[in-house]
């Protein structure tokens, strides 16, 4: 079973860091980095808009910073490493959760035949294990967040200047981050034309710059043609192990 975790990396912090890093630490130019920056999406067709005009000579683009980071080959590779590292703890918590469910079932089915002392002992055991489970889930989620933030900040230090270079080379005057935390009603982005999104070309350029090979794709039984393409940079977030199911409720004392 695959679990997902909401990332703690905020869109505003990421965007601010990218711009600041690009301004203070521009990357050295090289043939590889220059070749890695394709033209803006849709420029081959005059009928497909690539920017929204906001004035004379002005154009706007969008990028999902969070998706770009974790859809890159490096982000996927390091995210998979975190998933593997946290898998034993996740398995341990699942086992504890199953144990609690078994004790709750025992209390529900045998409660009427147990004396007050036995029932109180069983209820106390459930409550104690429930607390251990909750602490374990919190620790796992905190560790996952820390690992994700470390990966994101490390990649962003290299991706930020590339984003600014791409925007400059393609004549953009403004780039909005459309990561989930920055979309309406939680942010200023109400709607965007997909044609102005530069996430995929930035990811492609970063993959060339980083030199990290695409991670091996697991075999799937999904029918051909319906699987999501490798390296896709949609708005859905990549996944890493975590616990998403709510802890089972503590049974009421009888």
Q: What is the pLDDT of residue 82?
A: 95
Q: What is the pLDDT of residue 140?
A: 96
Q: What is the pLDDT of residue 43?
A: 42
d(CA 230, CA 251): 45
Convert the pLDDT of each residue in 48-87 to its tens digit. Answer: 334 444 454 578 999 999 999 999 999 999 999 999 999 9
User: Which residues does residue 197 pair with via DSSP β-bridges, in sequence order?
Assistant: 62
Indicate the domain borders of the chain.
11-39+51-210
Distances from the Cα of 239 to the Cαs of 70, 78, 249, in angstroms?
Answer: 9, 12, 26
Q: What is the pLDDT of residue 235?
A: 35
Q: Whose CA is closest to 9, among 88, 61, 69, 57?
A: 69
Residues of the chain with pLDDT below 50 are 1-15, 18, 21-22, 24-36, 42-54, 56, 221-254
Does the predicted model carry a pTM greater than 0.75?
A: no
Q: What is the pLDDT of residue 228?
A: 37
């Amino acid at each position: 079973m695959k679990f997902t975790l909401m990332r703690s990396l905020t869109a505003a912090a990421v965007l601010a860091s990218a711009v600041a890093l690009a301004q203070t630490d521009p990357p050295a130019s090289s043939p590889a980095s220059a070749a890695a920056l394709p033209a803006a999406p849709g420029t081959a067709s005059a009928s497909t808009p690539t920017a929204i005009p906001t004035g004379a000579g002005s154009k706007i683009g969008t990028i999902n910073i969070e998706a770009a980071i974790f859809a890159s080959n490096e982000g996927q590779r390091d995210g998979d490493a975190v998933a593997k590292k946290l898998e034993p703890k996740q398995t341990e918590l699942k086992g504890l959760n199953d144990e609690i469910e078994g004790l709750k079932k025992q209390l529900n089915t045998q409660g009427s035949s147990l004396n007050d002392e036995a029932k109180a002992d069983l209820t106390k055991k459930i409550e104690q294990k429930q607390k251990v489970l909750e602490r374990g889930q919190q620790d796992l989620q905190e560790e996952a967040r820390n690992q994700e933030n470390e990966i994101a900040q490390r990649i962003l230090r290299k991706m930020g200047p590339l984003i600014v270079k791409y925007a400059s080379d393609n004549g953009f005057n403004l780039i909005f981050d459309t990561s989930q935390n920055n979309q309406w009603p939680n942010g200023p982005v109400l709607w965007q034309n997909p044609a102005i999104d530069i996430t995929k070309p930035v990811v492609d350029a970063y993959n060339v710059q980083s030199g990290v090979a695409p991670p091996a794709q697991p075999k799937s039984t999904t029918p051909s043609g319906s699987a999501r393409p490798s390296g896709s940079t949609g708005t859905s977030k990549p996944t890493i192990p975590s616990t998403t199911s709510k802890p089972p409720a503590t049974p009421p004392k009888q």
